[in-house]
């Protein structure tokens, strides 16, 4: 997962397109000799639109309304849970290995071979 998607909820390409549209709108205002007071308005509107897009993208990704710090805390909690699951699995594997060793030792003991007695054989 890219840094942009993890922290902003958007891909780097989406962010570049958003910045490009904002810059094109500013260039259009300057070329049409519009009032320069529109530049801060355009910038503010662009940032508000970016915030809304981020909110929708994070909700869609399953992180409703989480800030970057909250997302990191959630990720750390998820990793801690996975580590705990791995420790349990590791303990189970160690128990199975111990049982296998015990079974191998039992099979390796030299026991007298069993003799099958037929109907005509004497005991």
- Domain end, chosen from 49, 64, 79, is at 64
Q: How many CB atoms lie within 10 A of CB 68?
A: 12
For the residues 10-21, what does the mean pLDDT come to? 84
pLDDT for position 73: 86
Read off the pLDDT of residues 19-62 as tens digits, 9 standing for 90 and up. Answer: 899 999 889 888 888 888 888 899 899 989 888 888 887 777 66
Domain of 43 in residue numbering reads as 1-64
pLDDT for position 119: 77
Asked if 2 and 57 sit in the same domain, the reply is yes
Nearest alpha carbon to residue 78 among 100, 99, 96, 63: 63
CA atoms of 83 and 88, how far apart (whole Å):
9
Asked if 58 and 30 sit in the same domain, the reply is yes
Read off the pLDDT of residues 75-99 as tens digits, 9 standing for 90 and up. Answer: 899 999 999 999 999 999 999 999 9
Nearest alpha carbon to residue 66 among 2, 6, 16, 109: 6
Total structural domains within the chain: 2
Asked if 47 and 70 sit in the same domain, the reply is no
The pTM score is 0.44
In a domain, 115, yes or no: no
Instruction: Answer yes or no: is pLDDT of 66 > 60.
Output: no
Asked if 21 and 7 sit in the same domain, the reply is yes
Asked if 100 and 57 sit in the same domain, the reply is no
CA atoms of 47 and 62, how far apart (whole Å):
22
Asked if 22 and 76 sit in the same domain, the reply is no
Instruction: Answer yes or no: is pLDDT of 9 > 90.
Output: no
């Amino acid at each position: 997962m890219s840094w942009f998607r993890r922290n902003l909820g958007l891909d780097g390409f989406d962010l570049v397109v958003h910045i490009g549209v904002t810059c094109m709108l500013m260039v259009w205002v300057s070329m049409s000799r519009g009032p320069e007071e529109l530049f801060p308005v355009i910038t503010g509107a662009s940032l508000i639109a970016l915030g809304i897009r981020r909110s929708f993208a994070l909700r869609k990704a399953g992180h409703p309304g989480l800030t970057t710090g909250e997302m990191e805390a959630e990720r750390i909690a998820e990793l801690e849970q996975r580590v705990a699951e791995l420790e349990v699995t590791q303990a189970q594997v160690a128990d199975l290995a111990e049982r296998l060793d015990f079974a191998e030792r039992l099979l390796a003991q030299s026991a007298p071979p069993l003799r099958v007695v037929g109907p005509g054989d004497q005991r």
